[in-house]
Amino acid sequence: MGSFFSQLCRCDEEGRSGRNQHEEIPPHRSVLRVKEEELKEANQRLTGMKSFYKQELESVQRQKEEEIKSVQLRFHEKESHLRQELHREKSALKQKEEELKAVQDRCAEMVSLSNNKLNKERSALKQKEEELKAVQDRYDEMDSLSKKERHKDRSALKQKEEELKAVQDRLAADVAVSIKAADPESINNPVSKTRLTEMYDRLKLLQWPQIKDDLKATEMNPQSAQALLQKTFEDATEEMKKKKKQIEEAFGLTDSNSGPQKVKEYRQLTIQNLQMALYHSTKEDLLQTHVPEHGGQYSKDVMVTLRPLTSECFWLGCLMALNNPPLQPDWKNLAPGMDPWDIFPRDIKPSSAM
Largest CA distance in the chain: 216
Question: Quick one: how far is CA 139 from the chain centroid?
Answer: 29
Dist CA 37 CA 255 (whole Å)? 193
Query: 146-180 pLDDT, tens per residue?
Result: 677 667 767 766 776 677 666 556 655 554 544 44
**Is 276 within a domain?**
yes
Structural domains in the chain (count): 2
State whether 346 and 198 are in the same domain.
yes
pTM of the model: 0.50
Q: Counting Cβ atoms within 10 Å, is residue 323 exposed (0-12), middle (13-18) or buried (19+)?
A: buried
Give the Å distances, CA to CA, from 15 to 35, 42, 43, 189, 241. Answer: 13, 8, 11, 175, 176
**Is 8 within a domain?**
yes
Q: Which residues in the chain land under pLDDT 70? A: 1-29, 107, 111, 114, 132, 135, 139-140, 142-143, 145-146, 149-150, 153, 156-157, 160-161, 164-187, 254-259, 291-297, 337, 352-354
Dist CA 120 CA 199 (whole Å)? 60
Choose among 274, 251, 271: nearest CA to 263: 251
**Is 100 within a domain?**
no
Residue type at position 273: N
State whether 199 and 83 are in the same domain.
no
Q: Could you give the dihedral angle defined by the CA atoms of residues 79, 81, 83 and 84, in that order, rounded to the nearest 10 degrees? A: 170
**Is 198 within a domain?**
yes
- Residue 267: domain span: 189-350
**Is 180 within a domain?**
no
**Is 11 within a domain?**
yes
Asked if 330 contacts 345 with a C-beta cutoff of 8 angstroms, the reply is yes
Q: Which of 88, 112, 136 is the last residue of a domain?
A: 88
**Is 183 within a domain?**
no
Q: Helix, strand or coil for residue 353?
A: coil
State whether 73 and 197 are in the same domain.
no
Q: Which of 66, 88, 110 is the last residue of a domain?
A: 88
Q: Which of 88, 103, 126 is the last residue of a domain?
A: 88
Asked if 248 contacts 255 with a C-beta cutoff of 8 angstroms, the reply is yes
State whether 206 and 319 are in the same domain.
yes
**Residues 6 or more apart whose Cβ sits within 8 Å of residue 177:** none
H helices of the chain, where? 2-23, 31-180, 184-188, 193-202, 208-215, 222-250, 261-279, 283-290, 300-321
Query: 172-206 pLDDT, tens per residue?
Result: 555 454 444 434 345 578 999 999 999 999 999 99
**Is 7 within a domain?**
yes
